[in-house]
Amino acid sequence: MVSGVTKDAILEILDFIHKAVELINDFEKENMVNTLLEARKEGRRIFIVGAGRSGLVAKAFAMRLLHLGFNVYVIGETILPPMNKGDILVAVSGSGRTKTVVTVAEAAKSLGAKIIALTTYPESPLGKLADVIVRIPGRTKLATEEDYIIRQVIGVHEPLAPLGTLFEATTLIFLDGLVVELMNKLGVSESELREKHANIE
Amino acid sequence: MVSGVTKDAILEILDFIHKAVELINDFEKENMVNTLLEARKEGRRIFIVGAGRSGLVAKAFAMRLLHLGFNVYVIGETILPPMNKGDILVAVSGSGRTKTVVTVAEAAKSLGAKIIALTTYPESPLGKLADVIVRIPGRTKLATEEDYIIRQVIGVHEPLAPLGTLFEATTLIFLDGLVVELMNKLGVSESELREKHANIE
Amino acid sequence: MVSGVTKDAILEILDFIHKAVELINDFEKENMVNTLLEARKEGRRIFIVGAGRSGLVAKAFAMRLLHLGFNVYVIGETILPPMNKGDILVAVSGSGRTKTVVTVAEAAKSLGAKIIALTTYPESPLGKLADVIVRIPGRTKLATEEDYIIRQVIGVHEPLAPLGTLFEATTLIFLDGLVVELMNKLGVSESELREKHANIE
Amino acid sequence: MVSGVTKDAILEILDFIHKAVELINDFEKENMVNTLLEARKEGRRIFIVGAGRSGLVAKAFAMRLLHLGFNVYVIGETILPPMNKGDILVAVSGSGRTKTVVTVAEAAKSLGAKIIALTTYPESPLGKLADVIVRIPGRTKLATEEDYIIRQVIGVHEPLAPLGTLFEATTLIFLDGLVVELMNKLGVSESELREKHANIE
């Protein structure tokens, strides 16, 4: 069994996610699910954007959307079709201030896309652009932010996990849970997911 | 508070990680930590490889190694120097059979690099190439594998989370815990990490 | 006007491409065009693979295939559906020996895909796997190869441009010419291309 | 020998590059070379940015800078250290208006970095931010631009090659020529480049 600081940090992260999930607003989650399902039914494209580790979490979700049969694309990759009115942008940014993410969200807005934002800060530039917000408790990499949400969750002490770790891990697990709900609502089985999984790597 | 299938799946994932972490071998973890720290002291390069969602988890770890002051590179990205004898390859593959990952590990072996493998299957092709293995309980995307480790962890029922989700989430959280141990052993503070964090995205 | 070594090198590269294009086999080019057009008509997927600078050239071609209305994907990127029998793999490797490219080509072969290889060496491992070869004169990054084709093109002296530059530049320009032929044969205008161009970056 | 439209388009592209190179300002090229060499001597980091096919051209240059011994990084990839005062941003954008590129250039400016811009339009937002501009004749993907420079080069007719092809190809070949000048000025041989080339793909 893993011991030492690694174990302490893992338990802290798991405990954080546990409490954080309780703070995620069910209505916001429903809103995200319905927006995605409606977009899928109407044949809309889903675009995914995020920077750094939040971008990796966003890409992990993009892969599952692909397996679920969505038309999904990642901003910054080679295969990127145009965005049209009614398409969806899913943007992940703990601080809601990541410049390239906000720039993409502004462009998406002007093209008539709907923006789903996963962020800790609904009052951030990204949050203000979003049509659907899912507030994910976390702690951002910014030193100057007042990370009230994290204090609400883990109390006053400084967490062991550095920078955006808690936001990123919480967002990954939340989105992995959401995938199961999407499977359920779409009536898609695991073996149907597997049929859409890459087989060439 | 999040409800419904999303909640059930999140709780199952968290519960799985909790139990899985108890199964991770402390000696294997120590071995990985020491191998990384020694490589850093000797100025070795760390190369990271993984495909699909395991690749994203690997990249999330790569970013933290960068913040910790390691010379770290990701196979497949633009900036990729040569690998020399004594360098490290960190390979993430639940099944241990992902073809491109095994190909890279074979090449690394022939160049005299040391391989750290995070995999569920120590007897897999990747596992057999590895100098350091950290066995991560999980369930792979392969239908035909005998996923005994998952049964050991969550019992006989099928998990809600599809395909490799449990392996990927467990590996991410494990590595995030490991990062805290590395910070600790290196005497690196969060604000020193922040100073090495990208500031241009 | 640009002077000095830069100018000399540019003129040499342009001169090389000029002569190299004369050596590209028209039948091989036709074969590639027809294979792509047939795949498009039958709704097949096109997968693209390459490493290093050859990989970048391959991606530049992938973008134009997207603009032309092909179902195209890049190995190693997030959005990667499964490959099916009858799909196409376009592989770019000057030496034809790049390990990860050959590994992907082998996997593609076993899945029943057709392989189009752009390489200098038809007798290489990649060349032997290919269903359609387009031989691109070049000089590979390998020191030990007998680069007869380059000598045929520019004579006995060593070129100024290092490593695989001549292969990569020739392949880019060749594929950009091929795109115009595909536009022509598909009756697609530039403004129709523009409609499929990314608008969000 | 390649025939038909492919051949016509290739010859047109080569002819364009030939004429375009004559229009590239030698002083601007010198300025770029000196800025890069000085940055290397001072141990500065070079960051590379571009979107779409221009981004691929930028990455091809980044690889050669790595082989030449520069500390070079690509915006948007996993391994991205912070940018400091005195570092260099090399930005490639034909139109000079690509939103994410301009956003990154603005951020770089505010961090005290020097910006080298390769663009057709010195009066564009990117051009105005740049410390060093190299004007590359081309034709952008924008319909509404007055592409005077292209008319200057190829006359009044519409080129066969669509969208930004001429800019991208010209920039690639120009930068490949510049690499030879950098090799020359640094006294770096091809075999020294090869020693810094990736060996694991």
Could you give the CA distance from residue A2 to residue A8 in angstroms, rounded to a whole number? Answer: 9
Tell me the three state secondary structure of residue C97: coil
Could you give the CA distance from residue C55 to residue C58 in angstroms, rounded to a whole number? Answer: 5
Tell me the three state secondary structure of residue C199: coil
Higher pLDDT, B143 or A86: A86
pLDDT for position B143? 44
How many B/D residue pairs have CB atoms within 8 Å?
Answer: 82
User: By 3-state DSSP, what share of chain C in percent is helix, strand and coil, each rounded to 5?
Assistant: 50, 10, 35
DSSP of C103-148: HHHHHHHHTT-EEEEEES-TTSHHHHH-SEEEE-----S-SSS--H
Phi/psi of residue A134, nearest 5 degrees = -120, 110
Could you give the CA distance from residue C140 to residue C146 in angstroms, rounded to a whole number? Answer: 9
Print the SS3 string covering chain D.
CCCHHHHHHHHHHHHHHHHHHHHCCHHHHHHHHHHHHHHHHCCCEEEEEECHHHHHHHHHHHHHHHHCCCEEEECCCCCCCCCCCCCEEEEECCCCCCHHHHHHHHHHHHCCCEEEEEECCCCCHHHHHCCEEEECCCCCCCCCCCCHHHHHHHCCCCCCCCCCHHHHHHHHHHHHHHHHHHHHHHCCCHHHHHHCCCCCC
Could you give the CA distance from residue B50 to residue B54 in angstroms, rounded to a whole number? Answer: 6
> Which tens digits make up the pLDDT trace of D47-81?
999 999 999 999 999 999 999 999 999 999 999 99
Residue among B7, B24, B63 whose CB faces A53 most closely: B63
User: Which listed residue (A168, A190, A192, A201) is catalytic?
Assistant: A168
**Which residues in chain B have their CB less than 8 angstroms from residue C106's CB?**
99
Question: Are D79 and B77 within 8 A, CB to CB?
Answer: yes
Residue A154 touches partner C, C-beta closer than 8 Å: no
Print the SS3 string covering chain A.
CCCHHHHHHHHHHHHHHHHHHHHCCHHHHHHHHHHHHHHHHCCCEEEEEECHHHHHHHHHHHHHHHHCCCEEEECCCCCCCCCCCCCEEEEECCCCCCHHHHHHHHHHHHCCCEEEEEECCCCCHHHHHCCEEEECCCCCCCCCCCCHHHHHHHCCCCCCCCCCHHHHHHHHHHHHHHHHHHHHHHCCCHHHHHHCCCCCC
Give the mean model confidence (pLDDT) for residues B51-61: 98
- CA-nearest of B41, B16, B8, B1 to B186 is B41
- Pair A196, A66: CB distance under 8 Å: yes
Tell me the three state secondary structure of residue B132: strand
Least confident of A175-184, B65-74, B145-154, C14-23: B145-154
> Which tens digits make up the pLDDT trace of B116-164?
999 999 999 999 999 999 999 987 555 444 555 666 676 656 788 999 9
Query: Quick check: is A200 in a domain?
Result: no
Quote the tokens at residue C99.
């390990």
Phi/psi of residue D113, nearest 5 degrees = -80, 160
Query: Quick check: is C168 in a domain?
Result: yes
Residue among B26, B143, B194 whose CB faces A1 most closely: B26
Query: Quick check: is B117 in a domain?
Result: yes
- Chain A residues 20-79 with CB within 8 Å of chain D: 51-52, 76
Handedness of CA B123, B129, B131, B133 (dihedral sign): negative
Average pLDDT, chain B: 92
Could you give the CA distance from residue C165 to residue C14 in angstroms, rounded to a whole number? Answer: 11
**What is the nearest CA distance from C181 to chain B, expressed in angstroms?**
30
Handedness of CA D141, D147, D152, D156 (dihedral sign): positive
Residue C196 touches partner D, C-beta closer than 8 Å: no
pLDDT for position D141? 53
Query: Quick check: is B82 in a domain?
Result: yes
Give the mean model confidence (pLDDT) for residues B90-96: 97
Strands C114-119 and C132-135: parallel
Residue among D72, D83, D107 whose CB faces B79 most closely: D72
Low-confidence residues in chain D, pLDDT < 70: 140-152, 154-157
**Which residues in chain D have their CB less than 8 angstroms from residue B81's CB?**
66, 196, 198
Task: Indicate the residue type of D76.
Answer: G
**Which residue out of A53, A54, A100 would a mutagenesis test of the D interface target, given it has the greatest number of D Cβ atoms within 10 Å?**
A100
Buried/exposed A39-75: b ≥16 CB within 10 Å, e otherwise: bbeeebbbbbbbbbbbbbbbbbbbbbbbbbebbbbbb
Please give the model's pTM, rounded to 2 decimal places: 0.95
Active site residue B168: yes
- Chain A residues 85-124 with CB within 8 Å of chain C: 104, 107-108, 111
- Pair B200, D104: CB distance under 8 Å: yes
Whether residue A151 has pLDDT greater than 70: no
Whether residue B101 has pLDDT greater than 90: yes
- Pair A102, A129: CB distance under 8 Å: yes
Question: Are A200 and C104 within 8 A, CB to CB?
Answer: yes
Question: Are D74 and B76 within 8 A, CB to CB?
Answer: no
Higher pLDDT, B167 or D3: B167
pLDDT for position B177? 97
- CA-nearest of C88, C146, C85, C139 to C117 is C88
Question: Is residue A143 very low, low, confident or very high in pLDDT (cuts 50, 70, 90)?
Answer: very low
Query: Quick check: is B138 in a domain?
Result: yes
- Residue linked to tokens 């395909």: B163
Query: Quick check: is B103 in a domain?
Result: yes
pLDDT tens, N- to C-terminus, chain C (201 residues): 788 999 999 999 999 999 999 999 999 999 999 999 999 999 999 999 999 999 999 999 999 999 999 999 999 999 999 999 999 999 999 999 999 999 999 999 999 999 999 999 999 999 999 999 999 998 755 544 455 566 667 665 678 899 899 999 999 999 999 999 999 999 999 999 999 999 998
Looking at the DSSP bridge assignments, the partners of residue B49 are B91
Could you give the CA distance from residue B189 to residue B197 in angstroms, rounded to a whole number? Answer: 13
pLDDT for position A11? 96
DSSP state of B56: H
Chain length of chain A:
201
**What is the nearest CA distance from D106 to chain C, expressed in angstroms?**
15
Could you give the CA distance from residue C12 to residue C150 in angstroms, rounded to a whole number? Answer: 12
Domain count, chain A: 1
**Which residue out of B59, B78, B101 would a mutagenesis test of the D interface target, given it has the greatest number of D Cβ atoms within 10 Å?**
B78
**Which residues in chain C have their CB less than 8 angstroms from residue D174's CB?**
2, 6, 10
Looking at the DSSP bridge assignments, the partners of residue D74 are D48
pLDDT for position C58? 98
| CATH number of the domain where residue A140 is located | 3.40.50.10490
- Pair A164, A138: CB distance under 8 Å: yes
Whether residue B24 has pLDDT greater than 60: yes
pLDDT for position C143? 44
Quote the tokens at residue A200.
């060439």
**Which residues in chain B have their CB less than 8 angstroms from residue C99's CB?**
103-104, 106-107
Q: What residues make up the domain containing A152?
A: 4-195
- Pair C94, C54: CB distance under 8 Å: yes
Query: Quick check: is C201 in a domain?
Result: no
**Which residue out of B171, B173, B194 would a mutagenesis test of the A interface target, given it has the greatest number of A Cβ atoms within 10 Å?**
B173
> Which chain D residue has the Cα nearest residue A77?
D52
Could you give the CA distance from residue D164 to residue C4 in angstroms, rounded to a whole number? Answer: 27
Residue B193 CB-half CA count within 13 A: 23
